[in-house]
């Protein structure tokens, strides 16, 4: 699937670690995916108008203020395994009952915040996840509000559910599918790395972007569940594979940018 220039530019900037992206490099990078120069320039103008990118000197851009908050949160994917603690059976709960549903912008921000922290709806307006995040409910509450959950939402810890709700809570996530996803993604990344040296630079850049973007997105939206809900060993191995792949992909794209801006 061909990415659109808007999402591709944002992903390039997210992966650049704060480094600015030149228009020339953006055009060359998007050309790898069959995107025309005019489409790239139009996307940059629209992103700038939306505050998602901003000028960083002549002919270059960096992430803008409206993208910085999400970018900072997404950038923590490398420490995903370190943001956890042992699970004692409690649940972090968000009650969204008092919140409105007519403001679509607020609703999208709310859904994104809940999704990024892996919360699922148990009963109408009652979302939860295992209380296994480092920092406990206080850190989770702060992160949810930072990501766009309205401050009127109640965020608290619960335990002692009746047997039916406890059972339903533990089946809100498909643990077997998550485990399978960890193993399949790790194998896909490792297999590609094993043959990467045989690829032309433009092919390696294009394929590493697609594979790396998919893997990082999978990790960013992973609910980070504890055992026995998932195989935590398989998840750790997947995270290690993504870190290795990202390092290799960054090196490939550094070479590509150097060659296309000479």
User: In this structure, are 140 and 105 located in the same domain?
Assistant: yes
Indicate the number of domains in the chain: 3
Q: 51: domain range?
A: 5-63
Residue of 162, 178, 163, 161 lying closest to 91 (CA atoms):
161
In a domain, 243, yes or no: yes
Residue of 148, 131, 9 lying closest to 70 (CA atoms):
148
User: In this structure, are 117 and 37 located in the same domain?
Assistant: no
pLDDT digits (tens, 9 = 90+) for 91-107: 999 998 777 777 888 88
How far is Cα 95 from Cα 206, in angstroms, rounded to an integer?
A: 42
In a domain, 69, yes or no: no
pLDDT of residue 1: 64
User: In this structure, are 20 and 92 located in the same domain?
Assistant: no
Please, what is the average pLDDT of the chain?
A: 90
The predicted model scores a pTM of 0.86
pLDDT tier for residue 70 given thresholds of 50, 70 and 90? low
In a domain, 26, yes or no: yes
CATH assignment of the domain containing 107 = 3.30.70
* Residues 209-226: b if buried by 16+ CB within 10 A, e if exposed: bebbbebbebbeebbbbb
User: In this structure, are 148 and 189 located in the same domain?
Assistant: no
CATH assignment of the domain containing 16 = 1.10.10
* Average pLDDT of the segment spanning 24-38: 91
User: In this structure, are 121 and 191 located in the same domain?
Assistant: no
How far is Cα 121 from Cα 128, in angstroms, rounded to an integer?
A: 7
User: In this structure, are 203 and 237 located in the same domain?
Assistant: yes
CB 103 within 8 A of CB 150: no
Is residue 64 over pLDDT 80?
yes
User: In this structure, are 182 and 162 located in the same domain?
Assistant: no
pLDDT of residue 262: 60
User: In this structure, are 31 and 53 located in the same domain?
Assistant: yes
User: In this structure, are 202 and 165 located in the same domain?
Assistant: no
3-class SS at 115?
helix
* Residues 20-37: b if buried by 16+ CB within 10 A, e if exposed: bbbeebbbbbbebeebee
User: In this structure, are 154 and 180 located in the same domain?
Assistant: no
CB 184 within 8 A of CB 93: no
User: In this structure, are 150 and 180 located in the same domain?
Assistant: no
């Amino acid at each position: 699937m061909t990415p659109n220039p808007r999402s591709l530019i944002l992903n390039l900037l997210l992966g650049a670690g704060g480094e600015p992206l030149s228009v020339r490099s953006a055009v060359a990078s998007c050309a790898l995916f069959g995107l025309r120069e005019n489409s790239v320039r139009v996307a940059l103008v629209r992103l700038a108008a939306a505050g998602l990118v901003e000028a960083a000197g002549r002919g270059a851009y960096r992430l803008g203020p409206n993208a910085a908050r999400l970018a900072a949160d997404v950038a923590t994917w490398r420490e995903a395994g370190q943001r956890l603690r042992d699970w004692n059976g409690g649940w972090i709960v968000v009650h969204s009952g008092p919140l409105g549903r007519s403001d679509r912008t607020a609703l999208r921000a709310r859904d994104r915040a809940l999704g990024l922290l892996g919360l699922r709806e148990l009963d109408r307006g009652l979302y939860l996840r295992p209380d296994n995040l480092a920092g406990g409910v206080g850190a989770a509450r702060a992160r949810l509000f930072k990501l766009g959950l309205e401050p009127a939402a109640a965020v608290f810890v619960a335990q002692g559910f009746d047997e039916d709700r406890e059972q339903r809570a533990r089946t809100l996530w498909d643990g077997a599918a998550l485990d399978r996803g960890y193993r399949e993604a790790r194998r896909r990344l490792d297999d590609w790395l094993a043959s990467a040296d045989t690829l032309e630079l433009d092919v390696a850049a294009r394929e590493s972007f697609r594979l790396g973007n998919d893997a990082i997105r999978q990790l960013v939206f992973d609910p980070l569940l504890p055992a026995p809900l998932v195989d935590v060993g398989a998840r750790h191995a997947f995270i290690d594979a993504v870190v290795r792949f990202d390092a290799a992909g960054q090196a490939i794209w550094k070479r590509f940018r150097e060659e296309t801006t000479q």
